[in-house]
Chain A
Amino acid sequence: MENMTFDLAATPLRELNQFLHQKHDVAKVTVLNPDGAHNIAVGLDSPVEVEVHGHAGYYAAGMNKTAAVTIFGSAGTGVGENMMSGKVVVKGFASNGAGASAHGGLLVIEGNAGLRCGISLKGGDIVVGGSVGSFSAFMAQAGRMVICGDAGDALGDSLYEAVLYVRGHIKSLGADAQIETMSEADFATVADLLAQAGLAHDPKEFKRIASRRELYHWNADANQEY
């Protein structure tokens, strides 16, 4: 079978997720009337394409592996959290904690993202077409974030080795985050991620934010003032 449709107004969400978790030969699954339900298309482990038509609740496409999930609406808290690979696209806005802890794959949010976007990022890539809220990329360890709009307070607080690219205004940087010069490799990275996300911006408009690495080692003289 090529395509399959689950109408969540008539079918329990568990049926959708159980179908997606078993071995199947369906290339594309369409989800209708998601109506803000939690945990839509979580834990996928095959290269299936999933289209969600409407607004999704919490943790949509969480823990995703190899699947391509597109939400034609907004997503609640924790969309694409802990994803390992694949691609998750949100056509609308995403609430707090989008892409939290993602190890791999690409999360695209075409609208704005809420607070703590990409918190503890562990290797995934996130592209946000709009702006991100405060405390985004907090303690992000690896991976890349491209923010086409503005960033809120404390961007990249306690960053490890993740790298952030911001096109708009940064309200404030977090502890140990600093703006760095863009290299040719950075321009190429931004161009590549924008192309994958289908967003047309000039990479030259982006700033690079990375860790100053001063928090890597304990400094007794800092007197807890960072």
Chain B
Amino acid sequence: MCGIVGLLVKTPALRERLGELMVPMLIGMTERGPDSAGLAVFSEALADDGRKISVYSGLTEEGAAFDWTALVGELRDGYELDVTARVTGNHAILTSRNDPDDVKLAIRTINPKLHILSTGRSIDLYKDIGTPAEVAARYDFAQLTGSHLVGHTRMATESAVTPDRAHPFTAGQDFCLVHNGSLSNPNGVRRMLEPHGIRFETDNDTEAACRFLEWRLREGDELEAALQKGFQALDGFYTFLMGTPDKLALIRDSFACKPAVVAETDDYVAIASEFRSLAHLPDINNAYVFEPAPEEMYVWKI
């Protein structure tokens, strides 16, 4: 199974309420995905050379007691990297104007068990094992603000229940993907991508789709062209929801085996696996509700 949710607010005033509106959406998908949850939130981009790196310490020995202050100190003193951290237990968002590849290499060198969740000017990413309600409370999702987000509740079928195999997956910068379904050719996709220098962090099938699409974007494809190539390259069952700094995109496989429903008003576009995650949204009774067609691309811009 698995549940996906997405929310893009059109009215700037609603950006302050993005997390509050989303939490019931995520919790509404608990039965579809009770073992892990996560989300990526996109907010106003940092200035040109600023980058945010979401880092997870749950796999380290210290876990939620990880000493982030010591990490920042070591990055500053040992690596001459100017980094600040915003910490929530086992999660921190590190902000820096240094080359993000240098920062990430230093983080991994200092503690190889620190897991890097995302990198970009707009994206912050959280994911962990636990029920959606537990994960939402752990990171105070209700307080999140921004223009749009992509969320996921997981019922693992293709790989183990671990924080790094939860969704969303990211690749490159400011791109993330969540998946409901199962791919039948993830290993073929991996074998095709690896000679291009693309490295994988898990054995999860969704990671193959995420890295494939990000590779196409990096090679210069527009999002729509990348998704078109995805239809040809990715085999299996999927509803994919993707986030970029200014867009949400949704595609379903040609058999539409995995559900999706969209509700749109003048104020927002909300996407979920099922309507029960949308029922609480403001003015939902007057929303345009529809089921996205198989093998069609749906792209919403902020």
Residues of A within 8 A of B (CB): 33, 35-37, 54-55, 57-58, 73-74, 76-77, 92-93, 95-96, 114-115, 133-135
The smallest beta-carbon distance between B261 and chain A, in angstroms, is: 8
Bound CA span A83–B295, Å: 30
CB-based contact A74/B256 at 8 Å: no
B289 and A115 contact, CB distance less than 8 A: no
A177 CA to B275 CA in the complex, in Å? Answer: 35
> Which one of B254, B255, B275 lies within 8 Å of A76 (CB-CB)?
B275
A55 touches B279 (CB 8 A): yes
Q: Apart from A35-B279, A96-B256, what are 8 other A-B pairs with CB-CB below 8 Å?
A: A36-B277, A36-B278, A54-B279, A54-B285, A55-B289, A93-B291, A114-B256, A133-B294
* Chain A interface mostly: loop
A68 to chain B, nearest CB (A): 23
Q: Complex: how many Å from CA A221 to CA B59?
A: 60
Q: Do the beta carbons of A35 and B256 come within 8 Å of each other?
A: no
User: SS class of chain B's interface: helix, strand, loop or mixed?
Assistant: loop
In the complex the two chains form, is B274's CB within 8 Å of A57's CB? yes
A39 CA to B291 CA, complexed, in Å: 19
Q: Is the CB of B276 within 8 A of A95?
A: no
Chain B residue numbers with a CB within 8 Å of A133 are 256, 293-294
Contact of B276 among A57, A73, A74 (CB under 8 A): A57
B262-295 residues at the A interface, CB under 8 angstroms: 274-280, 285, 289-291, 293-294
A74 and B259 within 8 A (CB): no
B294 near A36 (CB under 8 angstroms)? no
Which residues from B are CB-within-8-Å of A54? 279, 285
Give bound CA distance, A133 to B257, whole Å. 12
CA distance A106 to B277 in the complex (A): 30
Question: Can you list 26 A-B pairs, Cβ within 8 angstroms, ordered by A?
Answer: A35-B275, A35-B279, A35-B280, A36-B274, A36-B275, A36-B278, A37-B276, A54-B279, A55-B289, A74-B275, A74-B289, A74-B291, A76-B274, A76-B275, A93-B290, A95-B259, A95-B261, A95-B291, A96-B256, A96-B259, A115-B255, A115-B256, A133-B256, A133-B293, A134-B255, A135-B255
Query: Given contacts A57-B274, A92-B289, is CB(A134)–CB(B294) below 8 Å?
Result: yes
Closest 7 pairs (CB-CB, A-B): A36-B275, A36-B276, A35-B279, A55-B275, A115-B256, A36-B279, A36-B274
Residues in A with CB closer than 8 Å to B259 are 76-77, 95-96
- Least CB separation from A35: chain B residue: B279
Distance from A175 Cβ to chain B, minimum over Cβ atoms (Å): 17
Contacts of B254 in A (CB 8 A): 134
With the chains together, A93 CA to B259 CA distance in Å?
14
Chain B 208-222, CB-CB to A under 8 Å as 1, else 0, gives 000000000000000
CB proximity of B41 to chain A, nearest CB, Å: 24
C-alpha spacing A133/B291, complex, angstroms: 11
Known contacts being A77-B259, A96-B256, is A35 close to B276, with CB within 8 Å? yes
Considering only residues 179-201 of chain B, those with a C-beta below 8 Å from chain A are: none
CB distance from B127 to the nearest CB of A (A): 25
A74 to B274: give the CA distance in the assembly, Å.
Answer: 11
Which residues does chain A contribute within 8 Å of B280, judged by CB atoms? 35
CB B130 to nearest CB in A, in angstroms, measures 24
Within 8 A of A (CB), among B232-260: 254-256, 259
Contacting residues, chain A, for B294 (C-beta < 8 A): 115, 133-134
The chain A residue sitting closest to B274, CB to CB, is: A36
**Min CB distance, B52 to chain A, in Å?**
35
How far is A74 from B256 in the complex, measured between Cα atoms in Å? Answer: 17
A114 engages B291 (CB within 8 Å): yes
